[in-house]
Amino acid sequence: MSDRNINPEGTNSKDLSVDDNLQSSPHNGSDYSVPDNGTYGTSDNSFDSSASDGPEKMTDHGTHAEISENKEVKNKNLSMNPNSYPQKRRYRWITYLLVVLALITIILMSLTVISSNLGIGGGLGNPDKVAVIYVQGTIFSGNVADGLGYATSEEIAGDVHSAAADNGVKAIVLRIDSPGGSPAAAQEIVEEIKKAQAKGIPVVVSMGDLATSAAYYISAPTDYIIASPSTNTGSIGVIWVFQNMSLSYKETGVDYYIARSGEMKDMGGTWRGLTDQEKEYADSVVMDSYENFITEVSEGRNMSKSKVKSLADGRIYTGTKAKELGLVDGFGNFYDAIDKAAELGGISGEPKVEYMNKASLSRLLLSSDSGRSNETAEKLVSSFEESPYGKLIA
């Protein structure tokens, strides 16, 4: 037997690998033994030959198997990684959070727009406010939804009253764009303006394109009037319009029988003209309203009645001419009027502007009865536009 087989110290690395693999085989014990029946042979050469080829190939095969098995285990570990599900949940929560933030942003922007339309805006850091009230369209007494071309005394006077009751409001701006209307409606608004002034709240007028007749009526008693050079204003006076359609009725075969308790009870009816007595009476009514108008202008503008009457022949004045005549105080735009109101109200810094009745779609929807159309609104104002007693206009 050679020294290599006897002396373990002389064994090379290949022989040690063979012995270790054979010993670690599950089919062998701790000692390597050859069956007695000689199946594998007993000679040293046969053993060396098998040891030099067979066990080494077995080791290589086992190594490849282990690598393959490790890859499979690694893939399973990746697929079963406990951190993957929390990561998905985290990404999902981030998505939810972004959606919620987007919705909150949209809601806040919508509330900002709505609140601005309903009367909140400007100077958020200043508690002192300037209330802005729009007077747009024909002025008459009644209750009509906003944005339909009419300015009712109920709404305007109510807004002035509410502004004056607000301790934060230090001044009021009336933004006027109106051809005038009912003298009675103008008087209702003037009364509320005077009540606000009695509380120490100055009222400033900002005239737009048009501020004539009853629109000037409500402007005269205010503390300051600002117009543009091209504004049309003035038209100080009163008219009473009657319509005689009796000839048309005859041509169409329409006939009337009027039962009346007095001679003038049907005065102004379209089925006949006015009598001389009725014409004289109509003139006296107009002059009574005219005197009231003159008095308001005289007191509000600090002018003599004679001077006012010299200007009050019904003519319209441009803003430039009106300033020369003392009917307005200065030139400027809407924002100049706000600054002037803040100054008169003793507000330091930029004031908070509160729009009491700014026209908007949301306000129109909120102030209108459901299903009420423009046609219905027109019927509500017919008592003024088509009065059976004629239409008294200032």
Closest CA to 169 of 177, 157, 178, 161: 161
b/e code 352-368 from CB counts within 10 Å (16+ = b)? bbbbbbbebeebeeeeb
Q: Under a CB-based contact definition with an 8 Å cutoff, are residues 170 and 351 in contact?
A: yes
Side chain identity at 64, as an amino acid letter?
Answer: H
| Placement of tokens 């059976």 in the chain | 388
Active site includes 309?
A: no
Residue 53 token pair = 């080829």
What is the distance between the alpha carbons of residues 145 and 142, in angstroms, rounded to a whole number? 10
Among 74, 88, 265, 379, the one annotated catalytic:
265
Which positions ≥6 away from 244 have C-beta within 8 Å?
270, 272, 273, 274
Among 141, 178, 213, 219, the one annotated catalytic:
213
Sign of the alpha-carbon torsion through 122, 338, 355, 117 = negative
Q: Under a CB-based contact definition with an 8 Å cutoff, are residues 27 and 21 in contact?
A: no
Helix, strand, coil % in the chain, rounded to nearest 5: 50, 15, 35
Active site includes 265?
A: yes
Q: Under a CB-based contact definition with an 8 Å cutoff, are residues 270 and 245 in contact?
A: yes
H or E stretch covering 317 = strand 316-318
Active site residues: 213, 265
